[in-house]
């Protein structure tokens, strides 16, 4: 097990999340990085969790350069002990937990007839099971803070896109789990919502570069005409979602995909 690395500083910018602590999984790149940066910009102390230490430190460096506070924890959300440690280190370092963002997720892309049990197991371990473990570990602390959970879904799952069988299964399982948690945890003051982003993550960029026809289809299918920016479009929306501005919203799925699911 690798221990966390602390990076510190003072808050600058927004204050909607001042005094709050957030844990973001898969925070080293893409949407997770964008969410972490946006939460920090609103004043939250952010714990960055993921498998690649260098990427986490890079994100933490960006936060501290802007005057925020960050702490990194290296681990694999597919391993329950690692998930428990992520939550424990968050609470130990910053004294509590107000926001949990379950972003990390492995993806396998094959047609349904070619999808194996191993493909499904990988996506489930890194997705709904990891989300379940993190939520269970975080529950005592979220009850104390009357906190907020944001789980990541997918418009590809909502639309049932071809070649996303294992991934879609995992993402829709996360949405079902989130709705149950919203109902059961609402009396504790805990809100649980899902966001389905369409953003230019490194994985998305690689996929679109390898599938130019798909890139052209996406451009046509998104009413706003572009994929979202991980920080400006996705991260800032998540920051608003976990703030008091959205204190009466729970059990919802927020489609952050430029209107793509309106078509077809």
How large is the average pLDDT for residues 147-166? 95
Per-residue confidence (pLDDT) for residue 263, from 0 to 100: 56
The answer, yes or no, to whether residue 10 has pLDDT greater than 70, is no
Question: What distance in Å separates the CA atoms of residue 191 and residue 145, rounded to the nearest whole number?
Answer: 11
Question: What distance in Å separates the CA atoms of residue 38 and residue 34, rounded to the nearest whole number?
Answer: 6
Q: What is the pTM of this model?
A: 0.92
pLDDT, averaged across the chain: 93
Per-residue confidence (pLDDT) for residue 134, from 0 to 100: 98
**pLDDT tens for each residue of 102-142:** 999 999 999 999 999 999 999 999 999 999 999 999 999 99
Percentage above 70 pLDDT, the chain? 95
Q: Where residue 218 falls among pLDDT bands split at 50, 70, 90?
A: confident
Catalytic residue among 71, 124, 167, 188: 167
Per-residue confidence (pLDDT) for residue 2, from 0 to 100: 44
How many CB atoms sit inside 10 A of residue 3's CB? Answer: 10
Collapsing DSSP to helix, strand or coil, 244 comes out as helix
Q: Where residue 147 falls among pLDDT bands split at 50, 70, 90?
A: very high
The answer, yes or no, to whether residue 11 has pLDDT greater than 80, is no
Weakest-pLDDT range from 33-37, 39-43, 213-217, 221-225 = 213-217
Q: Where residue 1 falls among pLDDT bands split at 50, 70, 90?
A: very low
Question: What distance in Å separates the CA atoms of residue 79 and residue 233, rounded to the nearest whole number?
Answer: 30
- Is 128 or 210 the better-scoring residue by pLDDT? 128
**pLDDT tens for each residue of 160-207:** 999 999 999 999 999 999 999 999 999 999 999 999 999 987 777 888
Cβ–Cβ < 8 Å for 50, 25: yes
Using CA atoms, how far residue 11 sits from 39, 63, 103, 174, 249, in Å, is 11, 9, 24, 33, 27
Q: Is 124 a residue of the active site?
A: no
Q: Where residue 220 falls among pLDDT bands split at 50, 70, 90?
A: confident
Per-residue confidence (pLDDT) for residue 60, from 0 to 100: 98
Q: Are strands 191-197 and 253-256 parallel, antiparallel or unpaired?
A: parallel
């Amino acid at each position: 097990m690798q221990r966390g690395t602390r990076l510190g500083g003072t808050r600058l910018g927004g204050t909607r999340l001042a005094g709050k602590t957030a844990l973001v999984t898969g925070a080293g790149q893409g949407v997770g990085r964008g969410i972490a940066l946006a939460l920090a910009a609103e004043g939250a102390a952010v714990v960055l969790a993921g498998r690649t230490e260098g990427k986490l430190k890079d994100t933490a460096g960006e936060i501290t350069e802007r005057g925020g506070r960050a702490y990194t924890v290296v681990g694999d959300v597919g391993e329950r002990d690692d998930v428990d440690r992520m939550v424990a280190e968050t609470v130990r370092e910053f004294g509590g937990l107000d926001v949990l963002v379950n972003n990390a997720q492995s993806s396998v892309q094959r047609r349904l007839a070619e999808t194996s049990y191993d493909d499904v197991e990988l996506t489930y371990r890194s997705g709904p099971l990891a989300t379940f473990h993190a939520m269970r570990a975080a529950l005592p602390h979220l009850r104390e803070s009357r906190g907020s959970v944001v789980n990541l879904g997918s418009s590809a799952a909502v639309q049932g896109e071809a070649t996303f069988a294992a991934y879609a299964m995992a993402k829709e399982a996360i949405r079902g789990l989130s709705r149950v948690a919203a109902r059961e945890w609402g009396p504790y003051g805990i809100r649980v919502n899902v966001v389905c982003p369409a953003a230019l993550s490194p994985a998305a960029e690689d996929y679109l570069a390898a599938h130019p026809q798909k890139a052209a289809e996406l451009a046509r299918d998104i009413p706003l005409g572009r994929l979202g920016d991980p920080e400006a479009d996705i991260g800032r929306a998540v920051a608003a979602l976990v703030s008091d501005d959205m204190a009466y919203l729970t059990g919802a799925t927020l489609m952050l995909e430029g209107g793509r699911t309106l078509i077809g």
